[in-house]
Amino acid sequence: MLRHFEEELDELRKCLLEMSGLVELAIYRSVLSLMRRDENQAQQVLENESRINQMQIEIDDRATRLLALEQPVAKDLRFITSAIRINSDLERMGDEAVNIAERSLLLISELPCNAPVDIPHMASVVESMVRKSLDAFVRKDAEMARGILISDDEVDELWDTARRELVCFMQSDPGTIVQSVHLMFIAHCLERIADHATNIAEDVIYLAEGVDVRHHSEVREQ
């Protein structure tokens, strides 16, 4: 029975990794679509959304079944409740990738403009945060998780710069308002994805050390 439970926990971990793989791919493709003005990449993100949604329900079911049948305590209980939260964060990241893909399709239908916003750089920081948050989860590595909290501050600054510069750009050339608004929302989606990766990192710290660092800036700043 104990052996079986360990296997079930391992299966849950694998499902979360598979889900994060799908989500990472969706983020990557949505940004690629934007960079290359490639409708096909965006379409693939839209088509794969239902797979991510389906996986969310499967993982929730799996976790709830484990809570009911195995009645875990201590660190196993903490692992399963974290898995439920991580699952929800992953699904919301997938939603943001869909939002980016939809905005990308709208942008492709507009004239290109040289907006002063470095989406590829912002995306690469965010994609690395997502990857590391799941790595940290698998390894129960609180140190790696703390690195993600620092990257989140960097993304907040990038977002802040992006929105200020896009407003100036629109003011200087009102012909670019439509494109600039789309780009601003895309930057905002990336900032949201970073927030979700941060939630996962906080869960990893909770899992590894039993310390809840949500809403505690003094712990984050260590």
Residues that bind its own copies (CB under 8 A): 50, 53-54, 56-57, 60, 64, 67-68, 71, 73-74, 77-78, 81, 84-85, 88, 163, 167, 170-171, 174, 177-178, 181, 184-185, 188, 212, 214-215
What is the C-alpha to C-alpha distance for residues 114 and 160, in angstroms, rounded to an integer?
19
How far is C-alpha 216 from the geometric centre of its chain's CA atoms? 21
**Cβ distance 95 to 26 under 8 Å?**
no
In the block, residue with structure tokens 């390894």: 139
For residues 32 and 184, which CB has a smaller minimum distance to its own copies in the complex?
A: 184
Closest CA to 163 of 222, 220, 118: 118
Output the smallest distance, CB 69 to its own copies, in A: 9
For residues 40 and 53, which CB has a smaller minimum distance to its own copies in the complex?
A: 53
Angle at 77 between CA 72 and CA 80, to 5 degrees: 115
For residues 64 and 124, which CB has a smaller minimum distance to its own copies in the complex?
A: 64
Output the smallest distance, CB 101 to its own copies, in A: 17
Output the smallest distance, CB 75 to its own copies, in A: 11
